[in-house]
Amino acid sequence: MGNRLGDALSPYLRAHAGNPVDWYPWGEAAFEEARRRDVPVLVSVGYATCHWCHVMARESFSDPEIARVLNDRFVAIKVDREEHPDVDASYLAAASAFTRDLGWPLTVFTRPDGRTFYAGTYFPPRAVQGIPSFADVLAAVDEAWRERREDLDRTADAVGEALTAASVARTEGDLPDRAALEQTVATLAQGEDRQFGGFGSAPKFPVAPVLAFLTRAGGDARELAARTLRRMGASPLRDPVEGGFFRYATRADWSDPHYERMLTDNALLLSVTAELATGPDAPAFADSLAGGLIDFLIERMQLPSGGFASAQDSESVIDGQRSEGGYYRRDAAGRAELEPPALDAKVLTGWNGLAIGALARAGSVFGDARAISAARRAADFVLATHLQSDGRLARASLDGELSDAVATLEDTGMLAGGLLALATATGDVRYATTARELVDAAAAASGDDDAFAAPGGPDPVLRARGLALPADPAEGAAPSGMTACAAAAFELFALGAGDRYRDLAERAMRSVAGIAVQRPIAFGGALEVMTRLATPLVQLVTVTSDGTDARDGELVRVARRQAASVSAFVTEAQARDFAEAGFELFDGRTARDGGGAAYRCRSFVCALPVSTGEELAALGDAEP
């Protein structure tokens, strides 16, 4: 038996390299072997910090007898869902035909052509509460394959046809106006847990994209977002020692958290906190909550290379035993005695884009130079390592080695958005022009009919088997790839790159407008972009004289906390660089009297520049 996972880029795959199971990584070779042997395929999908993935690995994939059955009667494929999100999405969709309790580990059985005939999630070593043991599942699948092949073929064909039909369903509608968005906010408010905060009962997730929408919507919606974030921040969902949020809580009061800490959740929650901290109604808790999140991202998640790890594990080793959450249940002194839970050190392009954007925006709002520096380090690493000479992006890397996984739309959109936030925080136009190139490439790939909706998915193995599905526009822990691209396009428009970018954002959002207002909990990111499209555009450019320390002055301090659709901080030379690069908002922007000047604009029509914080605050207060 060969060890095909030992040199894998994914830490998740490497963790299974010592199993007695003859694992294959995702690729053509596994399906070709299944066809040659005429056996079914087990596709096992998980990720490195997934607790129940660890449990199933210890209970089942390390069991010699189970491994013998898998090796004799199946071809087994191990997939990292974070490295191959389109593979995960395709098989999750197929698995929904067999179970309502979707999650990871995802356990899928397919024909050698990759079409699913049975699926589930975690299977225990012994049958419990109606769930069969994994050994029993393998025996039943093997028997059905050998004795009832026609039944399995009919099931696989029916699932494939249903997915194909569902994938062409369209949900276009007119973009919602302010009244429709207010009704959507009311729908979310009806689902608020008035006792503990958050939405629904248990399990409860941070739903950061929904909080971003509510924050952007203003008024009562903004208060709902602040109330939710404050309660989560004071609950067991947040680690009081190291500042990060856990992935979700199993109980309505946010207790008994699932202890893994994801880069996505913490980056997006930092972005929400930074946005809440702007304007006259900024909540008092925002500064301290943001400080803890900045510390967590930099001190726990940022790697020596500058890139950010994907997640931190829920499990640690205490007294020689694996313990879920044991590390996090200790105080600071108790933790100092232990090795921290392992990081999944895989650097994902899109997720790093979220962290870059969050730290850049937070650094700008809170005047935190360390946060901006961390964002720049990550951006420089990702651009140097993941952006190829021909303009293509890599999906992931580990220790500087690139994965062969194809980048997805989320990688393009999230990285572009992060770079734009970094450009406006630092005044470095190079990040903005690179973001524009990424958005242009994504728009060109989608053709004339749909903005940021290139059909078929990027994975070549799925495409070859007709299993690739259009990207699911629904959103959970993070915005969809289409939404991320639309958000970046709107930001480009707001910076003066041209009306075509607003058009791209509108076209993308119209494709999900019909369903987003009906299911707001699943379309928070899209609703945030729709809110920006429906809200009067407010632009703020603060210019300081070249070679001065005016960035630390009163004007800049006030400008940092001003509410605006887009806010940028540049020197006079940097303003010229932006204007020459085609960003109209910066044309003719100069400092005054050797200090600074702030230009507050409504849809590119700017008030006279002001040079004091008091004058700038008065401009903001005067707006309706």
**What are the tens digits of pLDDT across the range 121-133?**
999 988 887 889 9
**In this predicted structure, what is the pLDDT of residue 396?**
97
Extract the tokens encoding 100.
Answer: 């309502």
At 29, is the secondary structure helix, strand, or coil? helix
- Only one residue has tokens 């004289």, namely 545
Give which of 312, 314, 315 is closest to 323, Cα–Cα: 315
Give which of 47, 264, 190 is closest to 272, Cα–Cα: 264
Out of 1-15, 58-72, 106-120, 443-457, least confident range: 443-457
For the cut 70, the answer to whether the pLDDT of residue 1 exceeds it is: no
**In this predicted structure, what is the pLDDT of residue 2?**
66
42 band by pLDDT with thresholds 50, 70 and 90: very high
CB of 9 closer than 8 Å to CB of 48:
no
CB of 432 closer than 8 Å to CB of 416:
no
620 band by pLDDT with thresholds 50, 70 and 90: confident
Number of helical H runs and strand E runs in the chain: 24, 19
Q: What is the C-alpha separation between 82 and 436, in angstroms, rounded?
A: 25
For the cut 70, the answer to whether the pLDDT of residue 171 exceeds it is: no
**In this predicted structure, what is the pLDDT of residue 624?**
44
287 band by pLDDT with thresholds 50, 70 and 90: very high
Extract the tokens encoding 328.
Answer: 């996090």
In what helix (H) or strand (E) does residue 503 lie, and over which residues does it extend?
helix 499-516
Q: What is the C-alpha separation between 525 and 480, in angstroms, rounded?
A: 7
Count the alpha carbons within 13 Å of 511 in the hemisphere toward its beta carbon. Answer: 22
**In this predicted structure, what is the pLDDT of residue 550?**
53
CA torsion sign for 341, 343, 344, 348 is positive
Q: Is the pTM higher than 0.85?
A: yes
Give the angle subtended at the CA of 67 by the CAs of 61 and 69, to the nearest 5°.
135
- Burial code (b: 16+ CB inside 10 Å, e: under 16) for 301-318 equals bbbebbbbbbbbbbbbeb
Q: What is the pLDDT of residues 226-260, one digit of tens each?
A: 999 999 999 999 999 999 999 999 999 999 999 99
Q: How do 347-348 and 343-344 pair as beta strands?
A: unpaired
Give which of 293, 485, 318, 311 is closest to 370, Cα–Cα: 293
At 542, is the secondary structure helix, strand, or coil? strand
**In this predicted structure, what is the pLDDT of residue 226?**
98
Out of 174-188, 362-376, 544-558, least confident range: 544-558
Mean pLDDT taken over the chain: 93
- Burial code (b: 16+ CB inside 10 Å, e: under 16) for 222-241 equals bebbbbbbbbbbebbbbbeb
Q: What is the pLDDT of residues 538-571, one digit of tens each?
A: 999 999 998 765 567 899 999 999 999 999 999 9
91-95-96-102 Cα dihedral, nearest 10 degrees: -90
Q: Please state, for a pLDDT cut of 90, what percent of the chain lies above it.
A: 85
417 band by pLDDT with thresholds 50, 70 and 90: very high
User: Which residues lie across from 600 on neighbouring strands?
Assistant: 540
**In this predicted structure, what is the pLDDT of residue 211?**
98
Q: What is the C-alpha separation between 287 and 336, in angstroms, rounded?
A: 26
Q: What is the C-alpha separation between 300 and 320, in angstroms, rounded?
A: 23
For the cut 90, the answer to whether the pLDDT of residue 480 exceeds it is: yes
**In this predicted structure, what is the pLDDT of residue 457?**
64
Extract the tokens encoding 79.
Answer: 């997939």
- Residue scoring higher pLDDT (310 or 447): 310
Extract the tokens encoding 480.
Answer: 């969809």
**In this predicted structure, what is the pLDDT of residue 446?**
82
CB of 378 closer than 8 Å to CB of 308:
yes
- Burial code (b: 16+ CB inside 10 Å, e: under 16) for 14-35 equals bbbeebbbbbbbbeeebbebbe
Q: What is the C-alpha separation between 49 and 102, in angstroms, rounded?
A: 17
CB of 260 closer than 8 Å to CB of 268:
no
CB of 347 closer than 8 Å to CB of 382:
yes
Give which of 83, 162, 152, 168 is closest to 119, Cα–Cα: 152
Residues 594-609 have a mean pLDDT of 92
For the cut 60, the answer to whether the pLDDT of residue 358 exceeds it is: yes
Crossing angle of helices 178-190 and 524-534, in 10° steps, is 150
CB of 397 closer than 8 Å to CB of 348:
no
Query: 476 phi and psi, to 5 degrees?
Result: -120, -95
Q: What is the pLDDT of residues 292-323, one digit of tens each?
A: 999 999 999 999 999 999 999 999 999 999 99
Q: How do 106-110 and 41-46 pair as beta strands?
A: antiparallel
For the cut 60, the answer to whether the pLDDT of residue 225 exceeds it is: yes
CB of 351 closer than 8 Å to CB of 264:
yes
Give which of 91, 477, 13, 106 is closest to 272, Cα–Cα: 477
**In this predicted structure, what is the pLDDT of residue 41?**
98
Q: How many CB atoms lie within 10 A of CB 200?
A: 13
Extract the tokens encoding 454.
Answer: 């290139």
**In this predicted structure, what is the pLDDT of residue 472?**
73
CB of 469 closer than 8 Å to CB of 160:
no
- What separation in angstroms does the CA of 250 have from each of 200, 237, 267? 12, 10, 22
